[in-house]
Amino acid sequence: MNNQKQTNPSPSPIISFLQVRKSFGNNVVLKNVTLDIYPGEIIFIIGRSGSGKSVLLKHLVGLIRPDSGDIFFKAQNLSHLKENEFFPIRQKVGLIFQQPALFDSLTVYENVAFGLQRLQKRSGKELEDQINKVLATLAISDLKNRKPNTLSFGQQKRVAIARTIALNPEVLLFDEPTTGLDPVATTVVNGLIASLSRKMKTTSVVVSHDMHSAFTIADRIVILHEGEVLVGGTPAEIKQCSHPLVQEFIKEV
Amino acid sequence: MSTRFYNDDNPSKILLMLANLGSAVIFLLKILAHLGNLKLHQEDIFHQIWKITLHSLGIIALSGFFVGSIMAIQFSLQLKEFAALSLLGGLATSGTIRELGPLLIAFMLSGRVGAYTTSELGTMKVTDQIDAIRCLGADPIKEIIFPRFIGIICASFFLLIFGVFTSIFGGMTAAALLLQLSPQEYLREIPRFLNLYSILLSLFKVFVFSFCLAWISTYIGYHTEGGALGVGKNVVKTAALSLSVIVFADWVTSLVSESIQLLFS
Ligand SMILES: Nc1ncnc2c1ncn2[C@@H]1O[C@H](COP(=O)(O)OP(=O)(O)OP(=O)(O)O)[C@@H](O)[C@H]1O
Ligand SMILES: [Mg+2]
């Protein structure tokens, strides 16, 4: 039995990347990524522009398939699943894209309703309540009937976050959630990620350039560089790391 | 070495074309697989038909009107020589219905509906909306491609019929203004020249053309890559490809219909 619970709980990972490799033509984006992510943690993935952070996240919902290597979600190997076999995975793993990716023919309300109606077959009062609750959480209730093209970028990002968290997935993948948000909205989103993790035991994987957010809410920070995980550790450990690239990233905080 | 601002690492154009054709066929089969649940998509399809029809009604009316009057003027030159102007309405109308009508409407639609469909789908693709649909538990082919595909085909029928009527009206107007031929005289001979076969042929042509247009514009739009620039490129690609395919399809259907006619006469 595990008696060291208070010092270092090491449950089995909810997500594992095992020697994942992905290239587009001659462009090798992920060379050899091995990474474990544990249930309930908030893990930040940091890396230069073009280092493959978005590509890494898209593997988890089957939008991109690896060339080789394995990806496990709760002991299920995702690397060879077919498109329709990903539907149950997408109920449990929600991706918030780097661009807002809102449906421009639908209102904010309808955008948030889209997944709830399809993935969870919700309708009527139950659907309405859930949407209103999420819109309130992100302070965008007043935008309910607007179309995405009438919103600012930051507002669109928050609608996109609302659309995915409305589904209460077990794992949330955030691709630069606070880029383009004002400081107040950034604090709201960071607080949301933290509280989802604490209250709902949601696992959050956050891709970000925002080291300040990382040091505020991350349980663990991983740096992706040249297609591999360069270093990983708690915020305190990362601060101690002497690698020049790591220093470059944390310099500004 | 010079700097290149374009991408030309294509291995072999022919291989690439074959691969594209193969994937376009698979794409088409995926769309057609949803034919079984037409009822389910009723509302979406009606919405698309309404949108496309409304979008193109003006241009079709205008071009139909002028095509009709051009046909009337052209035929009148020859018919005058034989003092057979009374046949004008019949000849001009049947010519429009059999050949020029479907072709012209398909051209107009490829400029309007084809380009619009590709740019709309292409924008959805490059802004990750299509991937978002997948992540939210839906099938983009079923949700957004299928209704547009059926919508384009159905709307084309309406627009053809509408275009034919405006072309008759155009011919009639030209005949009245330039040749002093009364509308009654113009319309009287139409039934003599118009048989069921030519009407069916015309409808069949519209079906083939709009099928090609729907296929090409949705396929190219759905497979757009490379941001706003990619969308622009693919709109041009749709316009060019659909025009050539439509002309080719016209040639094939004309050839086939001629042989069928020979067979039965
Ligand atoms: N669908 C695709 N087809 C071809 N190349 C791609 C595709 N998606 C990503 N890439 C390439 O993969 C590399 C990594 O892209 P990715 O979007 O993951 O970077 P990123 O780390 O998220 O960068 P950023 O911080 O700017 O968002 C880039 O060179 C990009 O051109
Ligand atoms: Mg990215």
pLDDT in tens, B172-230: 999 999 888 888 888 888 888 888 888 888 899 999 999 999 999 999 999 999 999 99
Q: Is A115 on the interface with B (CB under 8 A)?
A: yes
Q: What average pLDDT score do residues B236-262 get?
A: 92
Task: From A97, B228, A12, select the one nearest A111 (Cα to Cα).
Answer: A97
CB contact under 8 A, A63 and B131: yes
Ligand 1 centroid from CA A22, angstroms: 11
pLDDT at B149 over 70: yes
The answer to whether A213 touches A190, Cβ cutoff 8 Å, is yes
Query: What residues does A22 pair with on adjacent strands?
Result: A30
Distance from CA of A145 to the nearest CA of B (A): 19
Which DSSP symbol is given to A143?
Answer: G
The answer, yes or no, to whether any atom of ligand 1 lies below 6 A from the CB of A54, is: yes
Average pLDDT over residues A146-169: 94
Residue A94's nearest CA partner among B249, B142, B104, B137 is: B137
- Give the model confidence (pLDDT) of A162-183 as tens digits: 999 999 999 999 999 998 888 9
- Among B128, B131, B141, B148, pick the best mutation site for testing chain A contact (most A Cβ within 10 A): B128
Nearest listed ligand to the Cα of residue A48: 1
Least confident of A127-141, B4-18, B88-102, B245-259: B4-18
- pLDDT band at A90, cuts 50/70/90? very high
Centroid of ligand 2 to alpha carbon of B111 (angstroms): 35
**In the predicted structure, residue A96 carries a pLDDT above the cut 90:** yes
% chain A with pLDDT above 70: 95
Best residue among A30, A49, A54 to mutate for probing ligand 1, ranked by most atoms within 8 Å of CB: A54
Residues A45 and A205: beta-carbon distance below 8 Å? yes
pLDDT above 90 (res B241): yes
pLDDT at A248: 86
Give the mean model confidence (pLDDT) for residues A180-199: 90
What average pLDDT score do residues A17-27 get?
Answer: 95
A57 close contact with B: CB closer than 8 A? no
Q: How many CB pairs under 8 A join A and B?
A: 50
A7 has a pLDDT exceeding 60: no
Q: How far does residue A201's CA lie from ligand 2's centre (Å)?
A: 25
Q: Whose CA is nearest to atom 18 of ligand 1?
A: A52
Model confidence at B169, pLDDT cuts 50, 70, 90, reads very high
> For position A95, what pLDDT does the model report?
97
A25:B9 CB<8 A: yes
pLDDT at B91: 87
Q: Does A124 touch chain B (CB under 8 A)?
A: no
CB spacing of B137 vs A90 below 8 angstroms: yes
A92 pLDDT higher than 50: yes
Q: What is the nearest CA distance from B25 to chain A, expressed in angstroms?
A: 19
Q: What is the pLDDT of residue B10?
A: 55
What is the per-residue pLDDT across B1-38, written as a single tens digit (0 to 9) for each? 344 444 555 567 888 888 889 999 999 999 999 998 88
Our answer on whether the CB atom of A50 is closer than 6 Å to any ligand 1 atom is yes
Mean pLDDT of B231-243: 95
Tell me the pLDDT band of A3, cut-offs 50, 70 and 90.
very low
pLDDT digits 0-9 by tens, B29-78: 999 999 988 888 889 999 999 999 998 999 999 999 998 999 899 888 88
pLDDT of A6 higher than 80: no
B10 part of contact set with chain A, CB < 8 Å: no
Question: What is the rounded CA–CA span in Å between residue A147 and residue A104?
Answer: 7
Q: Could you tell me the distance, in angstroms and rounded to a whole number, from the CA of residue A50 to the centre of ligand 1?
A: 5
Is the predicted pLDDT of residue A227 greater than 50, yes or no?
yes
What is the distance of C-alpha B155 from the center of its chain? 9
Q: Tell me: pLDDT of A30 over 80.
A: yes
